[in-house]
Amino acid sequence: MALSREQVVATAVDLLRRYGLGDLTMRRLARELGVAPGALYWHVANKQELLVEVADALLAEIAVPPPGQPPEEALAGLAVSLREALVQVPDAADVVGLAYAVEPGATRALRELARLVHDTGVPASERDKVAALVVHHVLGSVAGEQNRGLAARADPELSPPDPAGEAKAFEVGLAVILRGVTR
């Protein structure tokens, strides 16, 4: 059976979920797939391209807000959905952050977020900045919660993060951002 780009990306996502970004190397990916590392480069040009594809796969299941929903509400809902999807996967914020740096519209979910920022009435000159602010709020929230969890596992005297409290803090920060954006 021939190796496909979809297999390469799916296996990379699986490795990320199981071990985190530090253990997602091209050599390990090739080993998991039972191929020589060079075989991967028929399907992805480099690790950066692979990580953009992994980001797209991580965000692929996020539902697009329903038509007719007020843009501010849809934007908030999408940001919460992004956070919920990423917080479950080790280092997902780093992977999506890289994809966003390479190409802000690399994933359907991030393109939808930018469209919703547009629909809120943000002046054209500020749209990219506002979309970046929301994306970075999502990514920072996820990375912070995951890092606090890692720290608590390494030091038993530290309290692990409270997922409900983390989600609430995220939503409060998002509300402040959106209030400032949509006035």
Q: Enter the DSSP assignment of 121.
A: T
- Same-domain check for residues 86 and 176: yes
Question: Is 51 within the bounds of a domain?
Answer: no
- Same-domain check for residues 40 and 73: no
- Same-domain check for residues 79 and 147: yes
- Same-domain check for residues 32 and 112: no
Give the ranges where the chain is alpha helix by DSSP (H).
5-19, 26-33, 37-40, 47-59, 71-87, 92-102, 108-119, 127-154, 163-181
- pLDDT values of the chain reduced to their tens digit, one per residue, 183 residues: 689 999 999 999 999 999 999 999 999 999 999 999 999 999 999 999 999 999 999 999 999 898 899 999 999 999 999 999 999 999 999 999 999 999 988 899 999 999 999 999 899 899 999 999 999 999 999 999 999 999 999 999 999 999 999 999 999 999 999 887 766
Q: How many domains does the chain have?
A: 2
Question: Is 50 within the bounds of a domain?
Answer: no
- Same-domain check for residues 151 and 69: yes
- Same-domain check for residues 70 and 36: no
Model confidence pLDDT, tens digit, residues 61-100: 999 898 899 999 999 999 999 999 999 999 999 999 999 9
- Same-domain check for residues 71 and 153: yes
What domain range includes position 27? 5-44
Residue 51 CB burial class (10 angstroms; 0-12, 13-18, ≥19): buried
